[in-house]
Amino acid sequence: MKNKVSGLLLTLVLVLTLGLATTTSIGAAKPDCTRIQDGVLTYSTGHYLAGEPLQVGYDIFGYNYQSHMFKGSYVNVYLGGDGFPPYEGDTDAYLADNPSAEDHWAWPYRDTKLLMKWNDAWLSNKDCDGDGKLDKHYGYDSYIGSGAWETNHMWGNDDGKWSYFTKIVAAPADAESIGGIWYAADGTEIGPVIWGAFATIQEVESGLGATYVSPSGPGFGKW
Give me the pLDDT at residue 8, please.
Answer: 65
At residue 23, φ and ψ (nearest 5 deg) are -115, 170
Query: pLDDT (tens digit, 0 to 9) for every residue of the chain, 223 residues total?
Result: 656 665 666 556 444 434 443 333 444 456 799 999 999 999 999 999 999 999 999 999 999 999 999 999 999 999 999 999 999 999 999 999 999 999 999 999 999 999 999 999 999 999 999 999 999 999 999 999 999 999 999 999 988 999 999 999 999 999 999 999 999 999 999 999 999 999 999 999 999 999 999 999 999 988 7
Domain, as residue range, for 68: 2-21+34-213
Domain-located, residue 29: no
Full 3-state SS string of the chain: CHHHHHHHHHHCCCCCCCCCCCCCCCCCCCCCCEEHHHCCCEECCCCCCECCECCCCCCCCCEECCCCEEEEECCHHHHHHHCCCCCCCCHHHHHHHCHHHHHCCCHHHCCCEEEEEECCCCCCCEECCCCCCCCCCCCCCCCCCCCCEEEEEEEECCCCCEEEEEEEEECCCCCEEECCEEECCCCCEEEEEECCCEEEEEEEECCCEEEEECCCCCCCCCC
- Tell me, yes or no, whether 219 lies in a domain: no
pLDDT at position 2 = 58
Compute the radius of gyration of the chain from its Cα atoms: 18
Model pTM above 0.85: yes
Q: How many domains does the chain have?
A: 1
Domain membership of residue 203 (yes or no) is yes
28 lies in a domain?
Answer: no
Q: Report how far residue 146's alpha carbon sits from residue 148's, in angstroms, rounded to the nearest whole number.
A: 5
Q: Cα(183)–Cα(172) distance, rounded to whole angstroms?
A: 9
Name every residue whose Cβ is closer than 8 Å to that of residue 200 and which is 6 or more positions away in sequence: 166, 167, 168, 191, 192, 194, 212, 214
| Domain contains 222 | no
pLDDT score recorded for residue 9: 62
Instruction: Indicate whether 122 belongs to any domain.
Output: yes
Residue 6 lies inside a defined structural domain of this protein: yes
Is 26 inside a domain boundary?
A: no
* Contact call for residues 45 and 140 (beta carbons, < 8 A): no
Residue 187, CB-side half-sphere exposure with 13 Å CA sphere = 0
